[in-house]
Amino acid sequence: MQISGAQMVIEALIAEGVDTVFGYPGGAIMNVYDEIYKQNKFHHILTRHEQAAVHAAEGYAKASGKVGVAMITSGPGFTNAVTGLADAYMDSIPLVVISGQVPMSLIGTDAFQEIDAVGISRSCTKHNYLVTDAKDLPRILKEAFYIASTGRPGPVHVDIPKDVTAQIETFDYSIPVEIETYKPTVKGNPRQIKKAIEAIASAKRPLFYLGGGIINSNAAYEVRELVKKTGIPAVETFMARGTLRHDDPLLISMLGMHGSYAANMAMSETDLVIALGARFDDRVTGKLSEFAKNAGVIHVDIDPASISKLVNADFPIVGDVKNVVTEMLELCSAVNPENYESWRETINNFDELHPLTFHEDSERIKPQWVVKRVGELLGDDANISTDVGQHQMWTAQFYPFTRPRQWMSSGGLGTMGFGFPAALGVKAAAPEKISINFTGDGSILMNIQELMTAVEKKLPVINIILNNNYLGMVRQWQTLFYNKRHSETDLSMQPDFIKLAEAFGGVGYRVSTKEEFDAALKDAIEKNVVALIDVVVERLENVMPMVPAGGSLFNMMLLEKKGKK
């Protein structure tokens, strides 16, 4: 059929089964927004900032497993969205971000709201396009969704000049995607898988190292079965929380800079690392030369560039984690769980020596208590998002995750301001679950304008502000490594969060006791509107354990015993 480029965008989104689009209109994308007005096949959520639109699309993608879609205009509209693109690229989140561009005749003339969007996005997207002819739009849009969702997922950017959206051309979306230079390997090499199983069977202290790729490939339940059948202990990365249930006896905890003592010591003592969908990030490995230095390495990843990039893999397996683990399950009868009994006992001893805990306080609220309390009250009924900082690490440490896609946070880029808009996207994707955003008094103000989006679109996200009047994580580093020189991290001057929430049409609470917190959370859930719960917490609490940057995993700063200073 003969339709305009703008209509092609709408028809492509419908053909891809898109039900929600996040965005912010402007001059260069106006033709497309005119077509959005005319259709009723998908829902558009108007955010109050372009960065928030992309973060919301990220939250939607993380919670649903689908491709998130955001739409923005040219110039500052696009530059505002770049942080979201970079965040999605670092965390392998499937997005298609469509931006408007000035007309073809004006490109390169420094026209009003012109920016080299494709040039800017090249380094922070999996792929990008500048569409110069409407006849190419069906192919490009179909390729964009395919590239975003296959192989190692990631954001794809499609930049469309305004005159291209007005061109009339033939729309045919039936042509299959054929990209000669892009053919992800999804099946693992059977010989390598067999060798890996043999290595596991002969190891004395093997350890599963579970990464975010497991969540992306929807492989959590296969991984749970593999861990159970082999009896091999497992550690999770920050991005993999929820792969195993929090109460799985074989789950040690999260490892890395703020991982548990037992998890980090297990990685330091293992003789075989079984890495599934993990990229050996510096926050996990610490000092590379000391990381699992006496261990062989099995590395399963769909991205061949990730394998042996940082840590040499003795058994490299390129393939989709779900497919590889399924094949490993068929061979794992060769692995005897009883062989690892003493290894499991050693790890239990590590955990008993320095458990992942905190010092309770009868008078003041500890931030860790808030996270644990929400877990006790809501558990599986909540989806959990966070901003970035101390609250993020406490949530990763102490929330009792029960399932994949329950946990949404900015890992690789560490983007303050991610949590609230992401939680809106999560609520749009999973309206049956309570959407909680743990945030800090610094992070929440980064995208506070999205209170208006939440009220208008009836997305009742509950923001729990762990308020210590500091940029807490930076303050922690200044305390520990800069001789307590707290340079520009004091946030004692703050808005009245109750009045702020109410001004936008939501509800606000300020709590300083455990009883007040329970009452506030209950009331926020019952009112079913966007909420800010401002929790006054211990100001100088630190996230522990902690591996200093560049240090070895086994050389941790630990929680001081109660009563010691």
Residues annotated as part of the active site: 50, 112-113, 162, 473
Angstrom distance (rounded) from CA 446 to CA 435: 19
Assess contact for 539 and 367: CB atoms under 8 A: no
Angle between helices 419-429 and 50-64 (to 10 degrees): 50
Angstrom distance (rounded) from CA 509 to CA 487: 30
One-letter amino acid at 372 equals: K
Q: Angle at CA 281, nearest 5°, toward 553 and 368?
A: 65
One-letter amino acid at 201 equals: A
Alpha-carbon separation of residue 195 from 191, 319, 332, 334, 506 (angstroms): 6, 15, 12, 12, 57
Residue 423: name the closest of 368, 462, 373, 394 by CA. Answer: 462
Task: Work out whether strand 434-440 and strand 382-386 pair parallel, antiparallel, or are unpaired.
Answer: parallel
Instruction: Print burial letters for 296-308: b (CB count within 10 Å at least 16), e (below 16).
Output: bbbbbbbbeebbe
Residue 325: name the closest of 183, 213, 202 by CA. Answer: 213
Residue 93: name the closest of 412, 438, 394 by CA. Answer: 412
401's tokens: 């995750």
In degrees and rounded to multiples of 5, residue 32 shows phi and psi of -70, -40
Sheet strands (E) in 415-467: 434-440, 462-467
Q: Tell me the H-state helices in 92-136.
A: 117-121
Angstrom distance (rounded) from CA 409 to CA 387: 7
Would you call the peptide bond into 545 cis, given omega within 30 degrees of 0 as the criterion?
yes
